[in-house]
């Protein structure tokens, strides 16, 4: 029987080496490409009729659009609208990655810490650049809460600095760990279905419940990743 973590193995499909660096087209890359195609076809296809009164698919697309737009507006405040395409892309990339991963025999690229870390670092670096571009050196006030007594600075500044720097870690680990654990759990319960014979019906019922739970988690984690990005963007635009 295959190990529960075998599903996370990176397998090269088209080996590519450039200057000694391995950038092979792998199963992970394949699913990233599929995610881009699925997201684009879904979003543009559903809107192709451009109906004034939307059909079902168009309603879903409009709901996603309004959902992300509201998320950005309420969490990042004024002046955040120009980052909407980025936030929307981030949400769709994570959401479609999470949901594609739940398809049997597929690969979940969002379960890999390096991918989520890449996205989290993109958010972190981007937010930091926006913060300094908007406030200059004043962005350093982020690390000292407004109105706190100056005598507390030696304690507060390191705490704030650490909490700021830990953002990309918590962001990336939360997503990757949730995806990895969910898939391992599905796999472990699935092995019980085979090994218990007729009684396997019990873990089979369980696996259906867990699959539904995982669908919820897939959407929830995409939401959490995006909403935290919005909150970080808010800090960069408006300080605390």
Q: How far is CA 101 from the centre of its chain?
A: 13
Q: Which stretch binds another protein (CB under 8 A): 84-92, 132-140, 164-172, 217-225?
A: 84-92
Collect all residues with Cβ–Cβ distance below 8 Å to 211 and sequence separation of at least 6: 102, 186
Contact 131, 113 (CB under 8 A): no
Q: Does 115 contact another protein by CB under 8 A?
A: yes
In whole angstroms, the minimum distance from the beta carbon of 154 to another protein comes to: 36
Please list the residues that pair with 17 across neighbouring strands: 22
In whole angstroms, the minimum distance from the beta carbon of 234 to another protein comes to: 21
Q: Which stretch binds another protein (CB under 8 A): 82-90, 143-151, 190-198, 215-223?
A: 82-90
Reference 109, options 39, 45, 30, 171; nearest CA is 30
Contact 196, 202 (CB under 8 A): yes
Q: Does 89 contact another protein by CB under 8 A?
A: yes
Candidate residues 57, 60, 102, 113; the one interacting with another protein per rule CB under 8 A: 113
The DSSP letter of residue 144 is: S
Q: Does 125 contact another protein by CB under 8 A?
A: no
In whole angstroms, the minimum distance from the beta carbon of 145 to another protein comes to: 34
**Helices 27-46 and 56-76, packing angle to 10 deg:** 110
Number of residues that bind another protein (CB under 8 A): 50
Which residue is associated with the tokens 């080996």? 15
Q: Provide the binding-site residues for another protein, judged by CB under 8 A.
A: 5, 8-10, 12, 16, 21-26, 28-29, 32-33, 35-36, 39-40, 43-44, 47, 50-52, 54, 58, 61-62, 65-66, 84-86, 88-89, 92-93, 109, 111-115, 118-119, 122, 176, 180
């Amino acid at each position: 029987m295959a190990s529960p973590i075998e599903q996370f193995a990176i397998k090269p499909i088209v080996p590519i080496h450039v200057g000694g660096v391995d950038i092979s087209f792998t199963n992970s890359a394949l699913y990233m490409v599929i995610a881009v195609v699925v997201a684009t076809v879904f979003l543009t296809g559903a809107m192709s009729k451009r109906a004034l009164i939307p059909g079902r698919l168009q309603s879903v697309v409009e709901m996603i659009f309004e959902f992300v737009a509201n998320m950005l507006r309420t969490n990042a405040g004024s002046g955040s609208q120009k980052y909407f395409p980025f936030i929307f892309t981030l949400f769709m990339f994570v959401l479609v990655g999470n949901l594609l991963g739940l398809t049997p025999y597929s690969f979940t690229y969002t379960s890999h810490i390096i991918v989520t870390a890449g996205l989290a670092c993109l958010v972190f670096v981007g937010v930091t650049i926006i913060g300094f571009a908007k406030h200059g050196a004043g962005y350093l006030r982020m690390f000292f809460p407004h109105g706190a007594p100056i005598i507390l600075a030696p304690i507060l500044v390191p705490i704030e600095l650490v909490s700021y720097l830990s953002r990309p870690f918590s962001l990336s680990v939360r997503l990757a760990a949730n995806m990895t654990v969910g898939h391992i759990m599905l796999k472990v319960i699935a092995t019980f279905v085979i090994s218990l014979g007729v009684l396997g019906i019990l873990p089979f019922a369980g696996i259906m419940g867990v699959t539904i739970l995982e669908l919820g988690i897939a959407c929830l984690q995409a939401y959490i990743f995006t909403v935290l990005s919005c909150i970080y963007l808010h800090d960069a635009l408006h300080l605390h």
